[in-house]
Amino acid sequence: MMRSKIVAAMLLPTVMLIGCGGEQQETQRATSNSANLTGLWRLSFETSQSGLSADAGITYTLVDNGNQINMTACAERQSVTLNRTGSSLRGLPVGEATIRNNDRITATGNLGDSVATKMATSATFDMGTLSISGGDLGNISSSNICVQSDYARILGQATQDRYSATTLLNGQPLTFEISRMGNIAKGSYDVNRDMSEGGVQIFMKSASLKDRVNYSEMNLRNGRLTITEDSTVWIKGNFSAQMPNGQTVSGSFEFEKP
């Protein structure tokens, strides 16, 4: 948002450049003037306590049924019913929230402040793609993707960056997480179990994995992950690493940032 005429003046050359054929900056998708609350939502949550600060990006869908709103959370794809009274919405994980309009919801609580904005009017998780294959794992490919993120700092220094995507595997939630001590940015990283020496951790969890690899959750290891794009909207990359049984799996992902 432009907060002063000075900012507007600073932006003017960029605007003129775009108008003359320059590359337009990408922006996160957002709706306006929606008829109701139904849609795909992103919630930005910020908290700060005793030198520790954290930012989280949470996604969920809402289906507007009047005074009762059905919410399906990205994590575990669990559904709950929220209760609406006027502009008040109760049942969100951030506490009681205020409906500003059908495209924006805010909340203020003891832990921090949150702002939720609608990404699309369809209550569908369509935040990218994930493909993994190799060994007993077989082939996993899905565009039924939701993405969440969290970024923590202690005394201003980055401590952990994480992206967590959830899809469905044989009807069960499958979580695919990439974590690193520090920032996850464009570049290549070693894949190891404990994020040591600047590496990344790739974690997978699903009850449906048990039938394939005899694990319901696992950390990949002895591999390499490359982030090919880290932009305002997307984080994209590919990887190759070993499962605990020693078999190699490889894959790629395109995740829309929450």
pLDDT, tens digit (0-9, with 9 covering 90-100), for 60-80? 999 999 999 999 999 989 999
The reported pLDDT for the residue numbered 258 is: 96
CA–CA distance, 212 with 122 (Å, rounded to integer): 33
Kind plus residue range of the DSSP H or E element containing 51 = none
Give the pair of three-digit tokens for residue 240: 């190759």
- Strand-pairing partners, residue 61, are 40, 72
Torsion angle in degrees (nearest 10) through CA of 14, 19, 23, 28? 80
Distance CA(229)–CA(218), nearest Å, equals 26
Nearest-Å Rg of the Cα atoms of the chain is: 20
Indicate yes or no: pTM above 0.85. yes
92-104 pLDDT per residue, tens: 888 899 999 999 9
pLDDT for residue 130: 99
Residue 11 pLDDT class (50, 70, 90 cuts): very low
Buried b vs exposed e over 121-135: b needs ≥16 C-beta within 10 Å?
Answer: bebebebbbbebebe
**The predicted structure's pLDDT at residue 158:** 63
For the segment 189-248, what is each residue's pLDDT rounded down to a tens digit?
999 988 878 899 999 999 999 999 999 999 999 999 999 999 999 999 999 999 999 999
List the alpha helices (DSSP H) in the chain: 5-19, 210-213
Give the DSSP letter string of 101-151. Answer: ETTEEEEE-SS-EEEEEEEESS----SEEEEEEEGGGEEEEES--EEEEEE
Q: Reply yes or no on whether the pLDDT at 16 is more than 50.
A: no
